A and B are shown apart, each in its own frame.
Chain A
């Protein structure tokens, strides 16, 4: 059981800084009117469930004088022990703090737990109620009462029914099934109206297609009218023309008649002129024919004989040879001259070669070929060689003889200038001496001396030899060489033996003279050698001369043989003696020239012969033609005369023939012309259908008239045509006039229809254009949609309210079934008890309404009960619920003077019940009736007014 131990009010409504201690069991909070009882009750509720929102229906009880707002509730909870709930100003619901005995603190969540999840409504509906809330029951109708009872009996809030009712009302203000006034019903009507308007718009738009069709139809009809009017107009014009054409038509008719009378009237075109022209030309042709015939006769008489063609041919061919003739004549003349010239030349050449007449004549047969000339050259060459050789041999013989002679003179000179005999002798002995000497010297001990002497000896020999060479004393040369040889030998032998006397003597004599001795020996030796050499040379010369002499004789023989041969060769050409070699080529050239001249002479002679023959031939033929002899000079001039004559005859004949032919042709032409003209005249007559000239002229007149009429006819026709004729079956004037009038009438009618259609069409087009550009429909459509949206918005609101109300109703219904039976039974018992058994109990009937059952079993609806009994039923239900929730929600029961309508007996029952229940429930009973302060046996009495003064707290 939860108990409120103490209220500590910081500031709340009129209360400020008040502390109220409460006891277990029953607490009676007494105070007069405006003492602040309700304020205090609200303090408890506000503190537990929060200060109301500023816009809520409930008062907030904020202190008017300002200062702290809120306060504390000290409670004792069976589960949580002692707690302090403090709520002060803060958020609109206030700041709440729950302090538990163990020092823990918490906020709203903790409080919610402490309150077992009950909100203010459920709390109020069971645990806290005032007289007012009970009194309201009296105003409720049966159903509402029942619901309120059930609602309060289940979860508490009797304003749940009010909320449901409000929802219901709001929903109905939005929409009622059969209403007119609710907003949505109004909107539905408006929407319907707009829909109708839209349908009208659409109908108008649907008219567009027919209008379009009608417009097109009108247009077609207008086109038709336009066409028809044009046709009518044309017809009217035609009729006017017809009127114009009437006189022309009659003219046409009369011309036609005359033409018919005249008939065909055939006549050739241009007949008269053609006939007269033909007649003139026939006469002319006749005259021409006779003239031509005369002229032909004349020509025939003047015609020359026919030409002798063969003669002319002969003449002509000979004449053609005139050039040949002259050519031949000049050839003859030139050939004769040439022959003479060549004869002269031949003679000259022969003379130059030196030949006589005979030889010269032979010369032409001589072989003057190049071969021969070559042979001659060879012969002359060989002859020259032979000559040259002979001369060389002669020269050599003379040379050798002169040399031999010089050698002999030299030998003589040498013999005379040679050494004397003593010298020769000494020289002869010297080698021996020197050998002795050398040995002696060697013995004397000095080898060198020996050697020196040998060297000296050699030098001496060399000197001698040199001298021989330089002096050309060839005899000295051998001597020199000999000395050298000796010296050499001496060298080998020297150095042996000792000196003897002889040797001493020798040394004395020759000692130191070795060189001189050597020179002498050498000179002697060379002299003799030279002499020998010269003798030998001379011999050799003599021998050579002998040989050359033989050679000289041979050359002489050869030369003469060559000379003979050469002479023999030239003799063939008539040349006598040995020709000079230089003349040989010249001779051959001359021979050749002579031969050439002879040949050309022969050629000229032949040409002469040919030309002369040719001349003879021509001359003979001419003479044959002429038939007489004529000299050469006149030959051709005569022949040309003959030819000219012949040709002239022939030309004249040709010309006359031509003339005759031409005339004949002309004659033929004229005859044909004559024939044709005659024919034409016949034809003209035929065409005119007459036989003679006079009839012909008559026919011409008829034809002319007809043509004239036809022209007139055509002219009339053209005129008719130009105004639209021809008009067949032309009606008469009256009919034409009638028709014209009719056309005009129809035209007027068509014009009227046209104007009417055009007007109509313009009207339709305008309407169509309006429809195409009209925005009213779009606008209306949008407005319609907007209204629809508005309707839907309201529909949602309606639906929400419907749902809310329904949800409440159904929740309540569900509760009824689940929780009600126990509570009803309990309430029924309590009701019975509170009424002191006057009422047997409370029941829920099948309609969900409460009924009270009286002691005698009669059932009444709640509304049929007295006010007090109703309130007792209400209290019974609340207490029954509190009891049934004792375990789940063990809250104190707070009552605000709900028993004022109770009589003493029933109050007694109530007090009795409270006394009985105070063990399990804490009661806070607010009252303004002082007798209530003493009604309870064991109650804590609190003076609220005193508490409100803040001075003290009333306690018993």
Chain B
């Protein structure tokens, strides 16, 4: 007999959405409920399909931002699972580490929480012994590898071994390093399944045995696009079977609106609404970044008003027709003008390109060194610098490109 279980991670219950501005009241409501709704979807799915157990690989709450309501919702969910007789194995991650001094709700008997050291829980499921190994973050930062503490399993000992690990792959520069590991280290443990957490983007690091980041159950940042959810896993006999179950209540995405040949605002609105409608049919409620492509270099429609006004205009139109869809921002993609950067613009542009990171940081020092403001800025990383650079070039191009002095 094979065992079937659910693997979820990074619930971030009650976590606010980050990086969004200008959401309507209705959307704010939807946004606030989205993590809870995604969690309810998870619980409902478990209660309906009765898996042998559930794994939650860390980051149930969002650290100090956790609300009592979030904890109450989680506790209730666990109690539902308890009544359905579904055991839960969970670990705490960097966001809900054990050192936090927040209120802790007592959880029902069916929930077993890993301690700060790597430990093992056993259970019997469908005549098989399942051993689950894992640990909880004792504090906010675990930068040293923990993978070495996991016991090595004997291959084919008739027991199913599952590792739960909240952390990132060694050498992943994009994310902060948490409990780093390499895929080779995971595979050397001879486990039947690795239930990972921490990385919000769903990915399958290995097929057999499966090494899986299920991603978060609800996108929380405008960069966390696409449908989110969790995995239903069947292992034991034959090849492992992984089924992705969508749970996100709101989906973030980028919607391109081709604007070739559009001359009037009403044409543009209708093109945008059609594109948003398609996004809605595909993903359900969500928040979209609109990218207007194919704008002629000598465009006069969009140049006629500031971007903010266009956004406001579109939001107003979308609120009536598509209440479930929020418009986060508009990007205008102008076709490159025929005249190449020459003269002064070229020189300035070269100057911009030549700056090293230190020079950029020096440039930002006013803001980033500000005693209050520094707390709210985003990290001045390569992405940020790239974005700033692009915007600066746009400013220069339009400023210098206009040329001449008014007379």
CB distance from B70 to the nearest CB of A (A): 8
Interface of A: prevailing SS: helix
A786 with B23: in contact, given A771-B68, A796-B388, A803-B389 (CB under 8 Å)? Answer: yes
Does chain B have a CB within 8 A of A916?
A: no
**B367 & A795 in contact (Cβ 8 Å cutoff):** yes
Partner of B403, one of A55, A58, A209: A58
Question: Which residue of the partner chain A has the closest CB to B28?
Answer: A782
Does chain B have a CB within 8 A of A177?
A: yes
Does chain A have a CB within 8 A of B366?
A: yes
Cα distance A786–B372 in the bound complex, in angstroms: 18
Q: How many residues of B contact A (CB 8 A)?
A: 68
Task: Pick from B43-51, B148-156, B297-305 the stretch touching chain A.
Answer: B297-305
Does chain A have a CB within 8 A of B363?
A: yes
Question: Which residue of the partner chain A has the closest CB to B71?
Answer: A772
Q: Which interface residue of A157, A166, A782 has the most chain B CB atoms within 10 A?
A: A782
Residues 99-137 of chain B, each 1 if its beta carbon lies under 8 Å from chain A, else 0:
000110000000000000000000000000000000000
Chain B residues 244 to 264 lying within 8 A of chain A, measured CB to CB, are: none
Residues 146-188 of chain B, each 1 if its beta carbon lies under 8 Å from chain A, else 0:
0000000000000000000000000000000000000000000
A796 partner residues in chain B, CB cutoff 8 A? 384, 387-388, 391
**B404 & A804 in contact (Cβ 8 Å cutoff):** no
Does chain B have a CB within 8 A of A571?
A: no
Task: Pick from A513-521, A643-651, A731-739, A805-813 the stretch touching chain B.
Answer: A805-813
Task: Pick from B10-18, B83-91, B207-215 the stretch touching chain A.
Answer: B10-18
CB distance from B346 to the nearest CB of A (A): 8
Does chain B have a CB within 8 A of A506?
A: no
**B14 & A778 in contact (Cβ 8 Å cutoff):** yes
Does chain B have a CB within 8 A of A275?
A: no
A777 partner residues in chain B, CB cutoff 8 A? 67, 69
Partner of A124, one of B67, B378, B394, B404: B404
**A49 & B403 in contact (Cβ 8 Å cutoff):** yes
**B392 & A800 in contact (Cβ 8 Å cutoff):** yes
**B399 & A167 in contact (Cβ 8 Å cutoff):** yes
A209 partner residues in chain B, CB cutoff 8 A? 103
Does chain A have a CB within 8 A of B22?
A: yes
B378 partner residues in chain A, CB cutoff 8 A? 792, 795
**A156 & B404 in contact (Cβ 8 Å cutoff):** no
**B367 & A772 in contact (Cβ 8 Å cutoff):** no
Task: Pick from A115-123, A349-357, A469-477 the stretch touching chain B.
Answer: A115-123
Q: Which interface residue of B360, B370, B372, B392 has the most chain A CB atoms within 10 A?
A: B392
**B67 & A57 in contact (Cβ 8 Å cutoff):** no
Question: Which residue of the partner chain B has the closest CB to A896?
Answer: B407
Chain A residues 869 to 908 lying within 8 A of chain B, measured CB to CB, are: none
**A112 & B339 in contact (Cβ 8 Å cutoff):** yes
Does chain B have a CB within 8 A of A790?
A: yes
Chain A residues 192 to 212 lying within 8 A of chain B, measured CB to CB, are: 192, 202, 205-206, 208-209, 212
A119 with B370: in contact, given A188-B376, A206-B103 (CB under 8 Å)? Answer: no
A122 partner residues in chain B, CB cutoff 8 A? 342-344
B350 partner residues in chain A, CB cutoff 8 A? 811
B367 partner residues in chain A, CB cutoff 8 A? 175, 184, 795, 798-799
A191 partner residues in chain B, CB cutoff 8 A? 375-376
A803 partner residues in chain B, CB cutoff 8 A? 352, 360, 363, 388-389, 391-392
B292 partner residues in chain A, CB cutoff 8 A? none
Question: Which residue of the partner chain B has the closest CB to A136?
Answer: B405
A786 with B407: in contact, given A208-B103, A807-B352 (CB under 8 Å)? Answer: no
Question: Which residue of the partner chain A has the closest CB to B66?
Answer: A205
Cα distance A778–B370 in the bound complex, in angstroms: 28
Cα distance A784–B23 in the bound complex, in angstroms: 12
Does chain B have a CB within 8 A of A163?
A: yes
**B16 & A121 in contact (Cβ 8 Å cutoff):** no
CB distance from A620 to the nearest CB of B (A): 108
Question: Which residue of the partner chain B has the closest CB to A51?
Answer: B298
Question: Which residue of the partner chain B has the closest CB to A174?
Answer: B367
CB distance from B341 to the nearest CB of A (A): 9
Cα distance A788–B373 in the bound complex, in angstroms: 10
Does chain B have a CB within 8 A of A801?
A: yes
**B363 & A800 in contact (Cβ 8 Å cutoff):** no
A117 partner residues in chain B, CB cutoff 8 A? 342-343
Cα distance A147–B391 in the bound complex, in angstroms: 24
Question: Which residue of the partner chain B has the closest CB to A55?
Answer: B303
Does chain B have a CB within 8 A of A159?
A: yes
CB distance from A257 to the nearest CB of B (A): 67
**A57 & B300 in contact (Cβ 8 Å cutoff):** no
Does chain A have a CB within 8 A of B31?
A: yes
Residues 329-343 of chain B, each 1 if its beta carbon lies under 8 Å from chain A, else 0:
100000000111011
**A800 & B28 in contact (Cβ 8 Å cutoff):** no
CB distance from B272 to the nearest CB of A (A): 20
Cα distance A791–B21 in the bound complex, in angstroms: 9
Does chain B have a CB within 8 A of A160?
A: yes
Partner of A782, one of B17, B304, B373, B376: B17
CB distance from B354 to the nearest CB of A (A): 9
Residues 34-62 of chain B, each 1 if its beta carbon lies under 8 Å from chain A, else 0:
00000000000000000000000000000
B376 partner residues in chain A, CB cutoff 8 A? 187-188, 191, 788, 791-792, 795
**B403 & A167 in contact (Cβ 8 Å cutoff):** no
CB distance from B46 to the nearest CB of A (A): 23
**B395 & A778 in contact (Cβ 8 Å cutoff):** no
Cα distance A191–B373 in the bound complex, in angstroms: 9
**A156 & B298 in contact (Cβ 8 Å cutoff):** no
Does chain A have a CB within 8 A of B266?
A: no
Does chain A have a CB within 8 A of B345?
A: yes
Question: Which residue of the partner chain B has the closest CB to A184?
Answer: B373
Question: Which residue of the partner chain A has the closest CB to B394?
Answer: A800
CB distance from B135 to the nearest CB of A (A): 25
Does chain A have a CB within 8 A of B32?
A: yes
Does chain A have a CB within 8 A of B238?
A: no
A811 partner residues in chain B, CB cutoff 8 A? 344, 347-348, 350-351
Chain B residues 349 to 407 lying within 8 A of chain A, measured CB to CB, are: 349-352, 360, 363-364, 366-367, 370, 372-373, 375-378, 384, 387-389, 391-396, 399-400, 402-407
**A112 & B342 in contact (Cβ 8 Å cutoff):** yes
Chain A residues 86 to 108 lying within 8 A of chain B, measured CB to CB, are: 91-93, 108
CB distance from B192 to the nearest CB of A (A): 39
Cα distance A798–B400 in the bound complex, in angstroms: 18
Partner of B391, one of A42, A130, A797: A797
**A120 & B32 in contact (Cβ 8 Å cutoff):** no
A786 with B20: in contact, given A799-B364, A803-B392 (CB under 8 Å)? Answer: yes
Does chain B have a CB within 8 A of A364?
A: no
Partner of A808, one of B348, B366, B387, B402: B348
CB distance from B327 to the nearest CB of A (A): 14
B103 partner residues in chain A, CB cutoff 8 A? 205-206, 208-209, 212
**B300 & A92 in contact (Cβ 8 Å cutoff):** yes
A802 partner residues in chain B, CB cutoff 8 A? 363-364, 366
CB distance from A497 to the nearest CB of B (A): 147
CB distance from A486 to the nearest CB of B (A): 138
Cα distance A775–B68 in the bound complex, in angstroms: 10
Does chain A have a CB within 8 A of B320?
A: no
Does chain B have a CB within 8 A of A793?
A: yes
A192 with B372: in contact, given A55-B304, A209-B103 (CB under 8 Å)? Answer: yes
Partner of A167, one of B17, B64, B395: B395
> Ordered nearest first, which 5 A-B pairs have the shortest CB separation?
A800-B391, A803-B392, A57-B406, A122-B343, A92-B298
Q: Can you report 9 residue pairs joining A to B where beta carbons are below 8 Å apart?
A: A155-B343, A163-B399, A167-B399, A212-B103, A801-B395, A802-B363, A804-B395, A807-B348, A811-B350
Q: A108-B339, A807-B348, A807-B352 known; 10 other A-B pairs, CB under 8 Å?
A: A108-B338, A121-B404, A124-B404, A775-B69, A777-B67, A781-B65, A785-B20, A799-B388, A806-B363, A807-B351
Q: Which residues of B contact A (CB under 8 A)?
A: 14, 16-23, 28, 31-32, 64-65, 67-69, 72, 102-103, 298, 300, 303-304, 329, 338-340, 342-345, 347-352, 360, 363-364, 366-367, 370, 372-373, 375-378, 384, 387-389, 391-396, 399-400, 402-407
